[in-house]
Each structure stands twice: as C-alpha cells, then as structure tokens.
Chain A
Amino acid sequence: MDSINWHSFFFLLFGLLASAFAVGVVVASSVVRMALYLIVALAATAGLFFLAGADFVGAMQIMIYVGGTLVLLVFGVMLTAQGPFVSMKTGGGDWLLASLVAGALLALLIPVAFSVPDWRGGEPAPAVMEPTATPIGVGLLGVRVDKLDADRPESLKPGMSSYLLPFEIVSMHLLVVLVGAAYLARTKRRRSPSQIES
C-alpha cells in the first residue's frame, strides 16, 4: 500500500465536511441549525483554503465569513425567531424542481472541472509553502511582488496592475453599506396617538 498522502487526506476530510454540511444547510429546517451547519461548512472551506496554500484568505474566511457574517445571521435569527418563522415548510414540488435544477447544474459543472487534464491532479506539487500575507498586503497597496519583471526587479511586468483601486473602492463600499444597513434596519418611529385617531 502506498503511504497515505496527507494532503489528499485532509482535502478529503475538509471537502467531505464542507459538502456534507452544505447539504445539511439545505436539508435543515430550523434557521439556527442551518446557520450552525453553514458555519461548519464555511470553516471547512477555510481548511480547504489552507490546503490550497492560501493561508491569509483562509484566515480571512474564518475571521469575516465565519465570525462576522454568521454572527450577523444569527443576529437576524434572534430578532425574528418567534415560533412560526423558525421553520417554514416548502412543498414537495419545489423540492423536486430545485433538485432537478441543481442536479443539472452539477452535471454541467463536474465534467467541466475534469475537462482540463492539468486540473485532474495526480502529480506531486512543489512542497514549499510561501506566506501569502505580505504579497497580498503589498498587492492591496498597489505593488504586485509576485509579478515583478525578471529583467528589472524594481518594476512590474508591463500590464500587471495591482489592486489598490479595487481595495479603496471596496473600503468605501463597505463604509457605505454599513451606513446604509444601519439606516435600513433602524427602528421606525411609531406614529403618535393623535395621528392614529385622525
């Protein structure tokens, strides 16, 4: 027996976890359970990111997705968690239809994934893991360390831009979104009694 490839082993572990809990999200009827499963699925995805060598993105996944997004979701659950809304049943026809469509989607996507020979794996990959936090951080500030010109190390390859502008846009976007969300979700002023009478 060949020795176990631990990378593949952990991939299988995390992949199965992610898939299983993603299915769990679909199947679960309680919103809170859905949230729990989603967390596990997302955390497993973070594990997949680590396996793919994207440690910074993985950490971000945990920090923002799992930490931030889901706390927000749970927040919403708490605010709307009153008896009848926790679970709402859907008709069997809907389920059937959705499954068919999803099946078609999978049938489309999975062959596509295997259609490129290079993507099928099987060859041992380079072993050294490089930290990605610094290149990503510098890249967000406008310099792509990984795209340096071999001839002139002080400059980028022609046409290789970086992500300073998207970064700024996303920052502004986040700010606007937070303000907008706060505005949307604010407590509505109750109508005064006099208005109700009239």
Chain B
Amino acid sequence: MNLLTEPVGVAHFMVVGAIMFACGVVCMAVKRNALGVLMGIELVLNGANINFVALGSKFLQKDGAFSLGLDGQFIALFVIVLAAAEAAVALAITLNFYNNHSTVDVDRANELKG
C-alpha cells in the first residue's frame, strides 16, 4: 500500500511503538551510563504508550472492535505521570550511586552479585 495516499491504521502506529520499544531495550542493554539506561526506560514506556493511544484512537480503526476508547488515553496519562515519578526516583538513586561510587557506570554496581 502507498502510505502517502492511503490512511494509516493502528498497525503502523504499533510499528513505530515497536521500534521505540526495541530501541529502548537496546539502550538499556548497551549503555553503561546509568542515565542512558534511564533514557532506555523512557523509550520503552513511550513505545508502549504509543500502542495504548493508537488502540484507543477513533481515527485508525473503522468499527473500533478492538478499540480501547478513552481508556487508552487514561492509561497513557498514568504511564506518563508514573514515568515522571520513576525518573525522579531513578535520578535520585543515580545521584546517590554517584555519591557513593563516584561513577555512574552501572557495570560497577555489581555488589549484589550472587
């Protein structure tokens, strides 16, 4: 299909969400900087959010059999708010970690090794 001339659907949004999600996962997996890991988390959450909003949208499906309706937006809102809270705590933890270890390298945070 020609994406420029035909209306897009939920699936296209979900693809973007999937890409962001995957990028987030990679980001979490490869960044040694704690802040990088944090950004990965943000990406992951955001990717999920796209799915929620897309599934709740009226513009992307005809009959809305699988539509979340406004609930999708509610969930997205809560995710955003909780992500903000999570970021605040994670940052605080990072700062604490930095205070204790003088680094933000997560590979150095292996004191819980079995």
Contacts and interface: CB of A to CB of B under 8 A. Distances in A.
A51 B57 CA distance: 9
Query: SS class of chain B's interface: helix, strand, loop or mixed?
Result: helix
A57 B58 contact: no
Contacts of A130: 58
Interface in B9-24: 9-16, 18-24
Interface string A101-120: 11101100110111010111
A90 B98 contact: no
A26 B30 contact: yes
Contacts of B11: 113-114, 116, 119-121
A103 B26 CA distance: 10
A54 B76 contact: yes
A174 B81 contact: yes
Contact of A61 (B20, B30, B43, B80): B80
Interface in A160-198: 163, 166, 170, 173-174, 177-178, 180-185, 188
B87 A73 contact: yes
25 contacts: A5-B7, A11-B3, A19-B16, A23-B19, A31-B35, A38-B42, A41-B46, A45-B20, A45-B49, A52-B54, A53-B57, A56-B77, A57-B53, A65-B80, A69-B42, A102-B26, A105-B22, A106-B19, A116-B11, A120-B9, A121-B10, A140-B74, A174-B84, A178-B85, A184-B93
